[in-house]
Amino acid sequence: MASILTNASAMSALQTLRSISSDMSTTQDRISTGMRVGAAKDNAAYWSIATTMRSDKGAISAAQDALGLGAAKVDTAYAGMDAAIKVVTEIKSKLVTATEQGVDKAKVQEELNQLNLQLASVANGASFNGENWLVGTAGAKTVVSGFVRDTAGVKVTTASYTTAPPARVACWQTPSRSTLRRPQTLPPT
């Protein structure tokens, strides 16, 4: 009987089995991790790129969340401004109506007072995450606007908006002689 150590056919078969076993181990590693390059020893360049991309994925996810919050703030302010414009347009039409002969100015004033309260409610209600860009202190507001990777590294870009000082909307009061005039002091909001 021939020895396995001197049998050329057996040695060739053993080498093939070892090669298959090694290839199977590599394939199982790739399947279990889901990555073709699981470690730096597999391919250093691809591993470095993959590691950077995995890191960027987390940063992009956080930037995407911040973009969503920023968009919600801007949308809330926009919706509040749009609603305020509609109320102011209605106030203008009531003021035009009040200038006509035979109009009950007291009723028009009552409607103007209600519209003034509605305008204040719209402005106060345009709040998102505790921040109101229509009512409050003036100043710069910033929102995340993007995520950039360049040769210098990773950075998150922001957009700044400057809000004007809060304006108080005056209602028109009717003095005793039944003419409309602007009040000297404004009611609290």
Q: Is residue 93, in this structure, part of any structural domain at all?
A: yes
Q: Give the closest residue to 84 by CA, choosing from 139, 130, 133.
A: 133
In a domain, 80, yes or no: yes
What is the pTM for the complete model shown?
0.60
pLDDT of residue 63: 85
In a domain, 33, yes or no: no
pLDDT of 21-44, one tens digit each?
A: 888 877 777 666 666 666 666 677
The one-letter amino acid at 16: T
pLDDT digits (tens, 9 = 90+) for 101-155: 888 888 988 999 999 999 989 988 988 988 888 887 777 888 888 888 888 777 8
In a domain, 163, yes or no: yes
- Mean pLDDT taken over the chain: 78
Residue 23 lies in a domain: no
Contact 88, 119 (CB under 8 A): yes
* Total domains in the fold of the chain: 1
Categorize the per-residue pLDDT at 2 as very low, low, confident or very high, splitting at 50, 70 and 90. Answer: low
Residue 20 lies in a domain: no
Instruction: Tell me which residue range forms the domain holding 71.
Output: 46-189
